[in-house]
Structure 1
Amino acid sequence: MRKIGSLIVSSLLLIGVSFVFLYIISSMYSPQADHVPLLNDKRVISPEVENYRPIITKYAKANGIEHYTDLIMAIAMQESKGKALDVMQASESQGLPKDSINKPETSIRLGTEYFKKALTKSNGNISTALQSYNFGLGFSDYVKLHGGKYTPQLAQQFSKEKAKALHWTSYGDPEYVNHVMRYYTNEKQKRELAKKNDD
């Protein structure tokens, strides 16, 4: 009796694993899929953020960083997904409490200006600039004092040190670079695929 029970459990487990495997493969190659390998979970630029493209482009141009427009949109996705009035969560960069800014264009203007400052302070290093957008511009100085090159380990170290100094349980998002670049890269993949399909 035990052998039959074990056989049934083993069979069900095998069927379950096979189902998950087939689901992943079919999701990757389904005509409806976004074709983002192993993600396929809408982690691309949302319609809400896409609606802000003209305003983001406007302020990216004004700051001389128009070629970073898509990256700024990825920042907006990570910050609010376009579902908050403070689209780029720029309040805190201005020394204000969270969500103090209640006009999307103001948020985008200030957020884009802050990202430009982060780029300048980091000598154009994208990873350092992105992490500085989340941690504050002091992170660029921290990188310079610790070898001069951004690493994920350095971001983790900075986060822990700041949290300890402030007596907080955590500080910022040490995975911020990966989270923003996920949106940026997935969106790029989606567009490239759409272009191939149109051709």
Structure 2
Amino acid sequence: MKKFFTLLFSLLSVIGISYFVLFIISSMYSPQADHVPLLNDNRVISPAIENYRPIFQKYAEANGIGQYTDLLMALAMQESKGRSPDIMQASESQGLPRNSINSPETSIKAGTSYFKRAMERSGGNVRLALQSYNFGIGFTDYVRQHGGKFTPTLAMKFSEWKAKELGWGRYGDPFYVDHVMRYYNNEKQKQALTKKN
């Protein structure tokens, strides 16, 4: 009888843990994950970034990339989540020390212009332009010299090579594209759900 209860308890434990894991996984990929605050808090564009939408729109349109306004806002989420005046962490793209820009509008203007340059250099490849925003526009040349096609593996190799070259522990974020696109895609899902309701 004792073996029966031990077996029953073990079976129920496995089933319970399996349901919990499935709940977490399905919540992560559900567009209606608002009911899971643990997983959904920081996966969409925050009110801090959303407040600057008119400024993002203004400079995106001025650079001829108005269609990328939401993407630029997702990029800003990855860069600062709106917690820094240099909202797009654009100081270094201007040849300045990190966080030298102390105005969100100046940061958005500079960051949008830099993203536009990255888009031009990448021939319109959004993923390559995003990774180049993080690594520097020279990453586009590295991709051309190594087969011409952006891949996550190539981003990792570039990151490791630059870190070694500079004697740093790490260089940039080789997963930057996925991190930005997480915000972008979740924001698009949220907007679509809002329109339905």
TM-score range, shorter chain: 0.7 to 0.9
Query: Structure 1, residues 63-82: CA drift from partner, whole Å, max 9, x if none?
Result: 11101101000100000011
Q: Which residue of 1 aligns with 2:97?
A: 97
Structure 1 residues 8 and 169: CA distance shift in structure 2, 3 A: farther
Query: Structure 1, residues 162-182: CA drift from partner, whole Å, max 9, x if none?
Result: 011111111000000000011
Q: Which residue of 2 aligns with 1:88?
A: 88
CA contact (8 A) 1:34 1:42 kept: no
Q: Which residue of 2 aligns with 1:162?
A: 162
Structure 2: 5+ residue runs without aligned partners?
A: none
Structure-2 separation of matches of 1:135 and 1:172:
6
TM-score, reference length from structure 1: 0.86
Name the SS for the 2:40 alignment partner. coil
TM-score, reference length from structure 2: 0.87
CA contact (8 A) 1:35 1:190 kept: no
Query: Structure 1, residues 117-138: CA drift from partner, whole Å, max 9, x if none?
Result: 1001111100110000000010
Q: Which residue of 2 aligns with 1:143?
A: 143
Query: Structure 1, residues 91-137: CA drift from partner, whole Å, max 9, x if none?
Result: 11112221111111111100001000100111110011000000001
Structure 1 residues 178 and 25: CA distance shift in structure 2, 3 A: closer
Structure-1 separation of matches of 2:26 and 2:182:
22
Structure-2 separation of matches of 1:145 and 1:21:
43
Q: Which residue of 1 aligns with 2:121?
A: 121
Q: 1:192 Cα shift?
A: 1.1
Structure 1 residues 141 and 22: CA distance shift in structure 2, 3 A: closer
Q: Which residue of 2 aligns with 1:45?
A: 45
CA contact (8 A) 1:85 1:101 kept: yes
Matched residues, number: 195
Structure 1 residues 3 and 181: CA distance shift in structure 2, 3 A: same
Q: Which residue of 1 aligns with 2:192?
A: 192
Q: Give the fraction of aligned pairs with identical amino acids, expressed as a percent.
A: 68
Structure 1: 5+ residue runs without aligned partners?
A: none
Kindly provide the amino acid, as one letter, of the partner of residue 185 in structure 2. Answer: T
Structure 1 residues 9 and 84: CA distance shift in structure 2, 3 A: farther
